[in-house]
Amino acid sequence: MGEWTPSWTEREHAAAVGAVREAIGRGDVYQVNVVGHAGAPYRGDPAPALRRVAELPGARYGGVLAGRGWALATASPETLVEVRDGRVITRPIKGTRPATALGRRELLASAKERAEHVMIVDLERNDLARLPGVGPVTVDELFAVRRWVNLWQAESVVSAPITGDLDLADLLRAVCPGGSVTGAPKRAALAEIDALEPVGRGVSMGAVGWIGPDHIDLGLSIRTVAVDGTRVHAWAGGGITWDSDPAAEVAEAAAKAAPIRAALAGPCPDRLLPPSW
């Protein structure tokens, strides 16, 4: 692998955070998830590096998909949507801290992180409630702390019983793109994302998983990388609210990207977190 080249600088990333805060101040949105991209050249067989990404601890959806001239690896901890035992389930993740005792306490005590998280839980509740063929939506678990590599993340479980015919296309239209990688209100957040992000999201922030006759399990393709024969691509970002600090948001994105980059480069635990964390 060669050197990583980001699609925007840290200053430009911070400026995008500021632009979202201005949009929130105008009342256009409540929250927007801002994502950055970076690419690096490579040569040789990428398969071993991609397998290391897929094997990162804490990945609910860890695997590699490949086709002619492309491949992707995901180590996603987040469920976009699951259909199992007569229920539709989504598990939004929002809120991040280093996986230390102090980081856990900070995450649980953060009013900013909890407010950001609850906004996305409400959005997911509304997404499921609009579906035909489902019953009352419930929040089965709220702001539970889970570990992904060297990070704590907050996760909730939102579900609804299937009470009638549930069409796959309707289900995917309701939940895609995921609320935790867009924002609230979702359409207004998407407009901000389109205006601010310098490149497209590619395979990231989509979905990867399984669809069967009586079971659907799709993971949100965060913590995901792609290769195209000459370059490797990775994405990372976070949700922006009125209380967001631009420098902290830039650092959080770097913390999410660091384990992926370290896995691609080779086993090296001391590189799993950047020095700023």
Q: What is the pLDDT of residues 115-164, one digit of tens each?
A: 999 999 999 999 999 999 999 999 999 999 999 999 999 999 999 999 99
d(C-alpha 38, C-alpha 225), whole Å: 10
Asked if the model's pLDDT at residue 243 lies above 90, the reply is yes
* pLDDT at 128 (0 to 100): 96
Supply the mean pLDDT for the chain: 93
**Is 78 annotated in the active site?**
yes
Give me the percent of the chain exceeding a pLDDT of 70.
Answer: 96
Asked if the model's pLDDT at residue 270 lies above 50, the reply is no
Q: How many alpha carbons fall within 13 Å on the CB side of residue 276? A: 11
Residue 12 CA: distances (Å) to CA of 35, 141, 159, 276: 12, 36, 38, 18
- Choosing from 78, 113, 192, 249, the catalytic residue is 78
Helices 246-265 and 10-26 cross at an angle (nearest 10°) of 140
Asked if the model's pLDDT at residue 110 lies above 50, the reply is yes
**Is 112 annotated in the active site?**
no
Q: What is the pLDDT of residues 80-99, one digit of tens each?
A: 999 999 999 999 999 999 99
Asked if the model's pLDDT at residue 277 lies above 80, the reply is no
- Choosing from 82, 94, 192, 252, the catalytic residue is 94
Domains and CATH numbers, the chain: 5-271 (3.60.120.10)
